[in-house]
Amino acid sequence: MRIDVHAHYFPEEYLDTLTRLGHAGARPAAARAPGHGMSLAERADLLAEHGIDCQVLSVASPGPYLPEVAAATEAARLANDLYADACQRFGGRFAAFGTVPLPHTDAAIAEAERCLDALGFLGITVGCSVAGRQLDDPAFEPFFAALDARGAVLFLHPQGVGGCPGSEGFGLNWMVGAPFEDTLAALRLVFSGLTTRYPRLRVIVPHLGGTLPFLLQRLDDQATRMQQTGEATYRMAGLPSEHLRRFWYDTVNSTPAALRCTCAAFGADRVMLGTDFPYLAGPAFSRAVRYVAEAGLTSEETAAIYGGTAQALLGLASR
């Protein structure tokens, strides 16, 4: 069974609603996706052609992160209802991670509960940051506590805000800023102590973990040095690598050497297929699926990445 855990869907009704509610980036974000115009029926045929049994949809960016709680809630509920309809209409070909109206914590908790209980979604997606606020913002603590109590899956996704100074211009905020966002969001969850306090939270970091696999030993060395010199301000227990190895990662990258690096750092059993459709479309979509089998991994590791790990994590029955 092949499961694609990283894919997006931008219904026109959702984009129109975001625009009406004052989200300036709604249309440009969707316009960047080469496969945006493909219908769900056409996409279902594409998945069948590539042997993908189930694609998990997530809103990602643009998310419903609006300043007014009523507007954010309206946008989030609409997106989730449209996703639920897509899941029902295609006989299990699509599943979903729900979106929530952060930064409004109480409303986000209520919508997450609706997604997981009433709509049957597989988890919740949040931006690597929310309206300029980092995920370790104390105001979000009750939200993570509620997800942890359920042992929920949390899928992170960049917001295109850049992950470091200098990512402005030249398209760098998505080209390289996005994986830096992945890196920083994951590390802030770890170093803030969130993953220590909420160990049942099951976190998926996209894009092979950004730069995390490449920097894993450096992270441990620096954290140890800071602790020894009294510079440490973090609230995690243990080493960063211990927490990062409890996360899951998707394969959106398409470079075999990078996939091997992530598997070596975290274990092939923590990696799952992702295509980033509709951003990767046409030949790029085919390559995103095919390169997993071409990366020189064992047949057991390849099978786990293509679907075995996701099936176990998400509780999906075989089709």
Rounded to an integer, the average pLDDT of 197-226 is: 97
Question: Does residue 135 surpass a pLDDT of 70?
Answer: yes
pLDDT at 31 over 80: no
Residue type, 163: G
- 33-78 tens-digit pLDDT: 889 889 999 999 999 999 999 999 999 889 999 999 999 999 999 9
Question: What's the alpha-carbon Rg for the chain, to the nearest Å?
Answer: 19
In the chain, what percentage of residues exceed pLDDT 70?
A: 98
Residue with tokens 């990767």: 280
Q: Tokens for 273, please give them.
A: 């297929």
What is the C-alpha separation between 147 and 135, in angstroms, rounded?
Answer: 14
**Contact of 98 with 83, CB cutoff 8 Å:** yes
**What is the per-residue pLDDT for 306?**
98
Contact 191, 234 (CB under 8 A): yes
Query: By C-alpha distance, which of 61, 42, 64, 44 is closest to 52?
Result: 44
Alpha helix (H) residue ranges in the chain: 12-20, 26-31, 40-49, 69-89, 105-113, 141-150, 172-175, 177-191, 194-197, 212-229, 240-244, 256-266, 283-290, 299-303, 309-314
Model pLDDT, residue 166: 84
Write out pLDDT tens, residues 233-287.
888 989 999 999 999 999 999 999 999 999 999 999 999 999 999 999 999 999 9
User: What are 41's two structure tokens?
Assistant: 């029926």
Mean pLDDT of the region 88-117? 97
pLDDT over 80 at 149, yes or no = yes
- Cα distance between residue 151 and residue 160, in whole Å: 28
Q: Of 237, 242, 159, 223, nearest to 194 (Cα)?
A: 237
- pLDDT value for 29: 65
Q: What angle do CA 271, 173, 181 make, to 5 degrees?
A: 40
* pLDDT of 49: 97
* Nearest of 243, 248, 59 to residue 158 by alpha carbon: 59
The torsion of the CA quartet 105, 111, 115, 117, rounded to 10 degrees, works out to 100
| Whole-number percent of the chain with pLDDT over 90 | 85
Q: Given this model, what pLDDT does residue 235 score?
A: 87
What the chain holds in terms of domains, given with CATH numbers, is 3-314 (3.20.20.140)
Q: Mean pLDDT over residues 150-177, rounded?
A: 88
- Say yes or no to pLDDT of 13 above 90: yes
Provide the CA 105 distance to its chain's centre, in angstroms. Answer: 19
Mean pLDDT of 97-118: 98
Does 123 or 228 have the greater pLDDT score? 123
Q: What is the mean pLDDT of residues 158-174?
A: 84
First vs last Cα of the chain: how many Å apart? Answer: 7
Residue 161's pLDDT band (boundaries 50, 70, 90)? confident
Summary mean pLDDT of the chain: 95
Mean pLDDT of 288-292: 98
Q: How confident is the model at residue 200 (pLDDT cuts 50, 70, 90)?
A: very high
Distant-in-sequence, close-in-space partners of 117: CB < 8 Å, separation ≥ 6 = none
pLDDT of residue 30: 67
**CA quadruple 153, 53, 255, 313: dihedral, nearest 10:** 20
The pLDDT score that the predictor gives to residue 202 is 98
